[in-house]
């Protein structure tokens, strides 16, 4: 593939840990006690950490943390060996049609979160909004009750007769609003190998009403790099420098973008689309507004969100990708009776580039071998003396 061609899809491809320091010589019962305490603390951490990690979203029912832990039962998932997508297929909890993504066992970086909750198949922090300008309604697939935009009211799509079905490599959720708008969300895993596998998100709105309706669509993607919520962002084709603060493009001029936990020590990179690429069918739909935003800010707003320049990388940060089509009244999508509109985007994950392995010249290898022999001889001599 030609890396300079914006219509090609390229699939080419530490955190520093602090040691646990203990005294060199630990004798008798004191050593046993210290070792036991350390073991208990490590065991406690292993069991407690996942519980806290699973509570990013507040429990929406009175069923406590157990309802969060059993969400898998209420999801459909598709897995092509490279990516695994999970979609909630019943009403309640976080909302039917919410979804999440993880790498699968055949990916070079296997079993990692790509969206929050991906490995646990626990969707909820990524959701869809369809705004109907002429009725002032903002329909959301989440049940968390985000704040409405000025002059609007929020309605849960759970009240709009949702139906979720699975078909080979895709999961489709449909809703019908009181305006008689049929919304069809399709999440698909395309391809069968690392080179051609991608996750596709397509939303189609059909106006089955006699009246004209003006609509907008928003995707909130709660991206996650393994267990890191914060990320860096870089425009691709044309390329730009990495940024770690909120930003928006109205509209984006670049064809794709990258996000990663740390450009200098990447776990993996999420590659997302923004403009139409001829090699993909259906092609990506250029949004009239794209945001790299703070997840907690945009998640709590049903549609309109204004970035404030928050830092999105590092400890405690939480980033999201936000696509808008028809982001304001002037850009609303007009649907006459019987007309439809579809919007599509894709993503895939590339592993980190291989790190350089230091090599020694012949003289260095000889010196290292001599040093090892010298150390070994010293150990043998001390052993004989004892």
pLDDT digits (tens, 9 = 90+) for 215-265: 999 999 999 999 999 999 999 999 999 999 999 999 999 999 999 999 999
- How is residue 224 written in tokens? 């996650």
Q: Kindly indicate whether the domain formed by 72-350 is annotated with CATH number 2.70.98.40.
A: yes
Handedness of CA 257, 124, 58, 110 (dihedral sign): negative
Rounded Cα gap, residues 67 and 141, in angstroms: 19
Q: What is the mean pLDDT of residues 322-334?
A: 98
Percent of the chain scoring above 70 in pLDDT: 73
The larger pLDDT score, comparing residue 27 to residue 384, is at 384
Q: What is the mean pLDDT of residues 288-317?
A: 97
- How is residue 115 written in tokens? 């969206």
For the chain, the domains span: 72-350
Rounded Cα gap, residues 28 and 257, in angstroms: 58
pLDDT at 179: 98
Rounded Cα gap, residues 304 and 140, in angstroms: 13
SS (H, E, C) the chain: CCCCCCCCCCCCCCCCCCCCCCCCCCCHHHHHHHHHHHHHHHHHHHHHHHHHHCCCCCCCCCCHHHHHHCHHHHEEEEECCCEEEEEECCCCCCCCCCEEEEECCCCCCCCCECECCCCCCCCCCCEEEEEECCCCEEEECCCCCCECCCCCEEEEHHHCCCEEEEECCEEEEEEECCCCEEEEEEEEEECCCCCCCEEEEEEEEEECCCCCEEEEEEEEECECECCECCCEEEEECCCCCCECECEEECCCCCCEEEEECCCCCCCCEEEEECCCCCCCCCCCCCCCEEEEEEHHHHHCECCCCCCCCCECCCCCCCEEEEEEECCCHHHCEEECCCCEEEEEEEEEEECCCCCCCCCCCHHHHHHHHHHHHHHHHHHHHHHHHC
pLDDT at 97: 98
The larger pLDDT score, comparing residue 361 to residue 33, is at 361
pLDDT at 369: 61
pLDDT digits (tens, 9 = 90+) for 143-201: 999 999 999 999 999 999 999 999 999 999 999 999 999 999 999 999 999 999 999 99
């Amino acid at each position: 593939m030609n890396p300079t061609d914006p219509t090609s899809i390229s699939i080419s491809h530490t955190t520093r840990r602090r040691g646990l320091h203990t005294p060199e010589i630990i004798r008798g019962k004191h050593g046993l006690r210290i070792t036991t305490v350390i073991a208990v603390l490590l065991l406690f951490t292993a069991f407690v950490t996942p519980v806290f990690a699973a509570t990013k979203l507040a429990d929406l029912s009175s069923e406590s943390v157990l309802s969060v832990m059993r969400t898998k039962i209420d999801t459909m998932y598709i897995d092509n060996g490279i990516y695994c997508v999970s979609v909630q297929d019943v009403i309640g909890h976080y909302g039917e049609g919410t979804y999440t993504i993880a790498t699968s066992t055949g990916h070079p970086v296997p079993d990692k979160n790509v969206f929050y909750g991906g490995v646990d198949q626990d969707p909820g922090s990524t959701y869809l909004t369809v705004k109907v300008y002429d009725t002032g309604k903002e329909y959301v697939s989440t049940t968390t009750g985000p704040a409405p935009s000025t002059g609007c009211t929020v309605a849960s799509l759970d009240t709009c007769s949702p139906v979720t079905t699975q078909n080979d490599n895709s999961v489709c959720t449909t809703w019908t609003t009181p305006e008689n708008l049929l919304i069809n969300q399709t999440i698909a895993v395309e391809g069968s190998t690392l080179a051609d596998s991608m996750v596709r998100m397509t939303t189609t709105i059909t106006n089955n009403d006699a009246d004209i309706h003006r609509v907008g669509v928003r995707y909130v993607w709660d991206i996650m790099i393994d267990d890191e919520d914060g990320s860096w962002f870089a425009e691709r084709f044309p390329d730009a420098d990495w940024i770690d603060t909120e930003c928006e493009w109205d509209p984006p001029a670049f064809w794709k973008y990258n996000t990663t936990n740390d450009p200098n020590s990447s776990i993996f990179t999420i590659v997302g689309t923004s403009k139409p690429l001829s090699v993909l069918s259906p092609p990506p739909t250029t949004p009239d507004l794209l945001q790299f935003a703070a997840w907690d800010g945009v998640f709590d707003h049903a549609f309109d969100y204004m970035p404030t320049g928050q830092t999105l990388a590092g400890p405690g940060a939480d980033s999201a990708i936000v696509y808008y089509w028809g982001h304001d009244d002037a850009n609303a999508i007009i649907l006459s009776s019987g007309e439809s509109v579809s919007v599509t985007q894709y993503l895939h994950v590339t592993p980190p580039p291989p790190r350089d392995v230091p090599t020694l010249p012949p003289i260095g290898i000889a010196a290292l071998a001599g040093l090892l022999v010298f150390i070994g001889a010293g150990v043998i001599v001390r052993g004989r003396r004892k």
